[in-house]
């Protein structure tokens, strides 16, 4: 598949096949459409549980005062705002996203919270990060990797800019492992989720894509293998909410 490093003329966009070089623009359109309702929909879709998943990510980040943190696909800044407080004025947090509308919303939220001085903003493609080698102590990407066209290339790019001793945390929807959960989750994803998108964001198709993109994302073991292939070590993962979400972790040694 194209998103695992092989050359191909097409790749998946949800369940559809699109030209590989057009996927990023399709993803950009989805998130431009949902940007203004992103936080409201996150709370509704997960019944607020996404905050617990993100809190767990922060706990496992090991971020300390004075460190540099890159929050990729950072959206409206849920993780970046916490990291900015953790690293203090002598540290640095980069809130990065490929989508200008999401990044703009994130920046406005940070300013509203009074978070300035130690946070920067960058519109970037995760596959080709414009940062020096061995630069960040910690990199996070929450619910963003599944939208990347070439996931293997992106993981390699993250490994490159990570300092020796640093860690990468990938929080992403995954494959349910609790018996009996999958049919309930499928019903919710393909019936209720697009309906909520239509009612709240006036956009059912974008949320149908989100449900499909989750199903096309590598499962826990596959993603762990991809992180190892990218040069990360001591890779592991923690299933959350019965495997609906998994937090993957890898270190650059």
For 199-218, what is each residue's pLDDT tens digit? 887 888 888 898 999 999 99
Q: What percent of the chain has pLDDT over 90?
A: 74
- In angstroms, the Cα distances linking 141 to 97, 152, 169 are 10, 14, 7
Report pLDDT for 4.
47
Range of lowest pLDDT (9-18, 41-50, 137-146, 172-181): 41-50
101 labelled as ligand-binding?
Answer: no
pLDDT digits (tens, 9 = 90+) for 36-91: 767 777 787 788 899 999 999 999 999 999 999 999 999 889 999 999 999 999 99
**pLDDT tier for residue 8 given thresholds of 50, 70 and 90:** low
126 labelled as ligand-binding?
Answer: yes
- Res. 164: pLDDT tops 50: yes
**What average pLDDT does the segment 141-159 reach?**
96
- Res. 5: pLDDT tops 50: no
CB < 8 Å & 24+ apart, contacts of 233-241:
238/56, 238/60, 239/174, 239/177, 240/52, 240/53, 240/56, 241/49, 241/53
Residue 28 CB coordination number (10 Å): 17
Range of lowest pLDDT (17-26, 29-38, 107-116, 198-207): 29-38
Which residue segments constitute the domains of the chain, with CATH numbers given?
Answer: 2-178+207-251 (3.40.50.150)
**What average pLDDT does the segment 154-166 reach?**
98
Higher pLDDT, 29 or 57: 57
76 labelled as ligand-binding?
Answer: yes
Contact 125, 56 (CB under 8 A): no
**pLDDT tier for residue 187 given thresholds of 50, 70 and 90:** very high
- Res. 151: pLDDT tops 80: yes
125 labelled as ligand-binding?
Answer: yes
Range of lowest pLDDT (105-109, 148-152, 168-172, 197-201): 197-201
């Amino acid at each position: 598949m194209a998103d695992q490093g092989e050359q191909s003329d097409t790749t998946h966009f949800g369940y559809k096949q699109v030209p590989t070089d057009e996927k990023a623009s399709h993803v950009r359109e989805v998130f431009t459409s949902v940007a203004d309702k992103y936080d409201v929909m996150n709370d509704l879709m997960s019944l607020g549980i996404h905050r617990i998943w993100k809190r767990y990510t922060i706990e496992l980040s090991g971020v300390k005062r004075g460190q540099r943190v890159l929050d990729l696909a950072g959206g409206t800044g849920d993780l970046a705002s916490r990291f900015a407080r953790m690293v203090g004025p002598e540290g640095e947090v980069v809130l990065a996203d490929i989508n200008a509308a999401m990044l703009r919303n994130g920046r406005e939220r940070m300013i509203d919270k009074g978070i300035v001085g130690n946070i920067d903003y960058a519109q970037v493609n995760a596959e080709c990060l414009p940062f020096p080698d061995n630069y960040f102590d910690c990199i996070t990407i929450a619910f963003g990797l599944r939208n990347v066209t070439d996931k293997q290339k992106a993981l390699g790019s993250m490994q490159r800019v990570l300092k020796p001793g640093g860690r990468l945390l990938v929080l992403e929807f995954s494959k349910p492992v609790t018996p009996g959960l999958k049919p309930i989750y499928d019903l919710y994803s393909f019936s209720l989720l697009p309906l909520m998108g239509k009612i709240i964001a006036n956009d059912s198709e974008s949320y149908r894509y989100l449900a499909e993109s989750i199903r096309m994302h590598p499962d826990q073991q596959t993603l762990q293998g991809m992180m190892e292939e990218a040069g990360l070590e001591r890779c592991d993962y923690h299933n959350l909410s019965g495997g609906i979400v998994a937090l993957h972790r890898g270190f650059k040694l």
